């Protein structure tokens, strides 16, 4: 089996304070507003947002290229309130682990609100959607997060 490694960084200015954006990560109800695409079945979700805490989810995509049951298992490694979140996670598709990643989110105040920067490094196990698709998915999540403040 082959493994592809990749990394990317996404930056976005969000029209909200760092504290508000931080809460969007820390509060389960707010996070579900942007973390899961519309039309995705939410079978289970839990969030224990603290260092050493876990986030787990089971989401069903009914059709399209990503059709199937998607699961994530996240562990929070470092959290600095309103400034930084570091986590590691693995993703499964129909019961098969297809990636493992380390991500760092930083939040910085700007005149326009908050500058969110996310850097992710991942290992993608064949067959997997790969780093380009992951970057696109994370970018869509960050756009959805920003839209919750409009």
Sequence spans of domains, the chain: 3-147
138 neighbors 128 (Cβ within 8 angstroms): no
Rounded to an integer, the average pLDDT of 109-132 is: 92
Look at strands 41-47 and 54-61 and give their pairing: antiparallel
Predicted confidence at residue 140, as pLDDT, reads: 93
Tens-place pLDDT, residues 67-83: 888 899 999 999 999 99
Percent of the chain with pLDDT over 70: 99
Rounded to an integer, the average pLDDT of 95-123 is: 97
- 3-147 folds as Alpha-D-Glucose-1,6-Bisphosphate; Chain A, domain 4 (3.30.530)
Predicted confidence at residue 83, as pLDDT, reads: 99
pLDDT at 62 over 90: no
What lies within 8 Å, CB to CB, of 97 at 6+ separation is 90, 91, 125
Range 45-77 burial, b when 16+ CB lie within 10 A, else e: bebebeeeeebebebebeeeeeeeebbbebebe
Confidence (pTM): 0.92
C-alpha span between 110 and 12 (Å, rounded): 11
Count Cα atoms within 13 angstroms, Cβ side, for 129: 17
Which of the pair, 115 or 36, is modelled with greater confidence? 115
Q: How confident is the model at residue 12 (pLDDT cuts 50, 70, 90)?
A: very high
**Average pLDDT along the chain:** 92
């Amino acid at each position: 089996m082959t493994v592809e490694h990749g990394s990317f960084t996404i930056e976005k200015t969000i029209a909200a304070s760092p504290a508000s954006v931080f809460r969007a990560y820390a509060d389960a109800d707010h996070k579900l507003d942007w973390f899961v695409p519309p039309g995705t079945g939410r079978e289970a979700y839990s969030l224990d947002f603290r260092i050493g805490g876990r986030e787990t989810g089971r989401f069903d995509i009914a059709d399209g290229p990503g059709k199937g049951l998607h699961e994530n298992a996240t562990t929070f490694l470092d959290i600095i309130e309103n400034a930084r979140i570091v986590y590691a996670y693995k993703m499964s598709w129909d019961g098969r682990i297809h990636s493992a990643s380390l991500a760092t989110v930083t939040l910085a105040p700007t005149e326009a609100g908050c500058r969110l920067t996310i850097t992710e490094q991942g290992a993608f196990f064949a067959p997997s959607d790969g780093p380009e698709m992951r970057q696109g998915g994370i970018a869509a999540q960050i756009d959805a997060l920003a839209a919750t403040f409009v």
